[in-house]
Amino acid sequence: MSTALVIGGTSGVGLAVARQLAGRGDAVHIAGRNAERMHRATAAIGGEVQGHVLDAADPAAVAALAARIAPIDRLVITLAGSGGAGPLGDLPLSGLRQAFEEKYWPTVAALQASLAHLGEQASVTLVGAVTARAAMPGTAGIGSLNAAIEGLVRPLAAELAPIRVNAVSPGYIDTPWWDGFEPEQRSAFFEQAAAALPTKRIATAEDIAETIVLLATNPNLTGTVIETDGGALLTA
Ligand SMILES: NC(=O)c1ccc[n+]([C@@H]2O[C@H](COP(=O)([O-])OP(=O)(O)OC[C@H]3O[C@@H](n4cnc5c(N)ncnc54)[C@H](OP(=O)(O)O)[C@@H]3O)[C@@H](O)[C@H]2O)c1
């Protein structure tokens, strides 16, 4: 049986990944900071999934968990932050730094703390975003953050081989990340965004999770960033 650790697995894309990997028979561990969210997620997945409360930015906590469940065959990191969007001229530097603190640094910290506990044939799968390449006005900050995540993939795939390292680069996804918006505002935004996409739909967490599961499990994939964006890059 393979052991999977999904850091950020208590919501959205990570939760869908955990559900799909559990469905394939993996021993799945999910981690997030909020205990209530973690309990809701383990109940939603059911079965043998194990939940853990930790902050990915805390290397000692990640290393302790990773050591306990080692060897880890599939490490998936799906942390989401909230800042970094807006025209560069208006973006406070402190806000952009905070955005890196929310997504980039915890991703690197968790990955680094897990390395010694990965199996010999393990996979690592990260999540960037279409903003890394879409050239959309107002995304220089958040785009550079996601480019930094995606930029880890190729050098690390070479450095850690035969451990495989990949990432997905999604566009808009309907997940709890959008819960900060009023429901009507969210629906109107999604409707407008979907109309502009070649696929005419907003991705579900399950769509993105299927790609992550492919990257995490297919032994021939390494050093790859798969765009799963509904064709957003064709129109940006
Ligand atoms: N939703 C979109 O439209 C969209 C578009 C492009 C890319 N993405 C990317 O897709 C990935 C997944 O996003 P999502 O929409 O699924 O977000 P989400 O529903 O908000 O889930 C984020 C998960 O990360 C956990 N998390 C965040 N910071 C953490 C930390 N420091 N330590 C441990 N866990 C932490 C959260 O749990 P706690 O808060 O309890 O810690 C939660 O489980 C992210 O990388 C996001 O940037 C999303």
**Residues 5-14 pLDDT 10s:** 999 999 999 9
Query: Looking at ligand 1, which atom is closest to the CA of residue 177?
Result: 20
- Contacts with 185 (C-beta within 8 Å, 6 or more apart), sequence order: none
Q: Which two tokens stand for residue 42?
A: 């383990």
Query: Looking at ligand 1, which atom is closest to the CA of residue 131?
Result: 6
User: Ligand 1 centre and the CA of 109: distance in Å?
Assistant: 16
What is the per-residue pLDDT for 67? 98
User: Ligand 1 centre and the CA of 155: distance in Å?
Assistant: 24
Burial 196-206 (b: 16+ CB within 10 A, else e): ebeeeebbebe
Q: Are 56 and 8 in contact (CB under 8 A)?
A: yes
User: Ligand 1 centre and the CA of 11: distance in Å?
Assistant: 7
User: Ligand 1 centre and the CA of 12: distance in Å?
Assistant: 7
By alpha-carbon position, which residue is closest to atom 47 of ligand 1?
Answer: 80
Query: Along the chain (236 residues), what's the average pLDDT of each consecutive run of 10 residues?
Result: 97 98 97 98 93 98 98 98 92 96 98 98 98 94 97 98 98 96 96 97 98 98 98 90
| Cα distances (angstroms) measured from residue 172 to each of 1, 44, 76, 154, 236 | 33, 23, 19, 24, 13
By alpha-carbon position, which residue is closest to atom 41 of ligand 1?
Answer: 33
Site to probe by mutation for ligand 1, drawn from 40, 175, 226 as the one with most ligand atoms within 8 Å of Cβ, is 175
Ligand 1 pocket, Cβ-based, cut-off 6 angstroms = 7-8, 10-14, 31-34, 37, 55-57, 78-80, 103, 106, 127, 129, 170, 172-173, 175-177
User: Ligand 1 centre and the CA of 203: distance in Å?
Assistant: 15
Q: Are 64 and 114 in contact (CB under 8 A)?
A: no
Domains of the chain: 3-173+206-230 (3.40.50.720)
Q: Where are the alpha helices (DSSP H) in the chain?
A: 12-23, 35-45, 59-69, 93-102, 104-114, 140-151, 153-160, 183-196, 205-217, 232-235
User: Ligand 1 centre and the CA of 14: distance in Å?
Assistant: 7
